[in-house]
Structure 1
Amino acid sequence: MPIPTSIRRVAVALAATASIGLVVAPDASAAEWTSTIASWAKGNESHRWADESYSQLQFTGCFVQNGTQDVTVAYYRDVAVAVDPKYDSKTFTACFGSGTSNGEWTGLPSGDYYFKAMDVGGGGLLWVSKVYVDTTQAD
């Protein structure tokens, strides 16, 4: 039995609305998160997350292909319809051995943040087995 045209149109409209919601949903989340990095070059950006006042970034298990074993990242606040303010950069080197590189940013205004690769080993590609972001200074 064929489905009436009006029901098909409603189903298509609902499906389209649901998929648009997934595409434009904010990527921000609060508190802390863990991820990995694969094949990052200069200019690559992390996803966004909600933060206020303090943020800690840790890289563990780093490797740069075709470059020196260091990576410089900067924090940015994601501002709609404006230039994103940049906070200071940190250069990570300890994560290339058996250790963890750590960067902290304090005094941040509330908002959505991300980090960006400013330099990857002088032009290489970066892999990080564990990326950890913590937004609670209490621990």
Structure 2
Amino acid sequence: MRKFGTHNTWKRIGMIASISTLPLALASPAWAVVKYSYIEGGVAGFNSHSVTDDGGTGPNKVDFTGCHTYSGRSVTVQLRREVIGPDTGYDDKTYTACFNGGTSSGEWGAGEEGHDYYFRITEVDGSSIVGPTISVDETRMSF
């Protein structure tokens, strides 16, 4: 008579679970490139480092978490693409949720594979002149 021990049963369950999750591990994420950073003392005109879009399926997205300014109202962000000549700027997005403990997000359409993108702070607390500063605990660029 065969004895059904828990050792072999758990071994089989583990093998089935491993095989069944394999397609999830091999699937490409919506955002193939994600870059984290922070900002300390940024002003209007501040540019992030550029990141190369590798053709991920998600939109170009910039998130700010933990924003701090003197009056703590808003920051305006623009996604830009590096080109020969003046860089191409896309729509401005005004972030406010990151000042209240949340995360502010700006989404632009899917970028072009192989092109370099960065974000620019165009306004801090409604001012486009250099003066008011902003610190951001975490920035996240995803493509």
TM-score when normalising by structure 2: 0.67
The superposition leaves residues 14-71 of structure 1 with CA deviations (integer Å, 9 ceiling, x where unpaired) of xxxxxxxxxxxxxxxx711111000011001000001147211110000112x45100
Matched, 1:95 2:98: yes
- How many Å separate the matches in 2 of 1:73 and 1:132? 13
Matched, 1:72 2:80: no
> Could you tell me the percent identity over the aligned residues?
37
Matched, 1:40 2:42: yes
Which secondary structure state, in structure 1, belongs to the residue aligned with residue 98 of structure 2? Answer: helix
- How many Å separate the matches in 2 of 1:62 and 1:102? 12
Which structure is larger by alpha-carbon Rg, 1 or 2?
2
Query: In proportion to residue count, which structure has more strand?
Result: 1
The corresponding residue for 1:8 is none
- How many Å separate the matches in 2 of 1:77 and 1:86? 7
8 Å contact kept, 1:68–1:122: no
User: How many residues are matched?
Assistant: 104
The corresponding residue for 1:86 is 89
The corresponding residue for 2:23 is none
Matched, 1:56 2:56: no
- How many Å separate the matches in 1 of 2:112 and 2:87? 13
The corresponding residue for 1:133 is 141
Aligned CA distance change for structure 1 residues 64 and 35 (closer, same or farther; 3 Å): same
TM-score when normalising by structure 1: 0.69
8 Å contact kept, 2:61–2:106: yes
Q: For residue 134 of structure 1, what is the amino acid of its counterpart?
A: S
Which contiguous aligned blocks of 4+ residues in structure 1 show a shift greater than 6 angstroms? none
- How many Å separate the matches in 2 of 1:116 and 1:36? 13
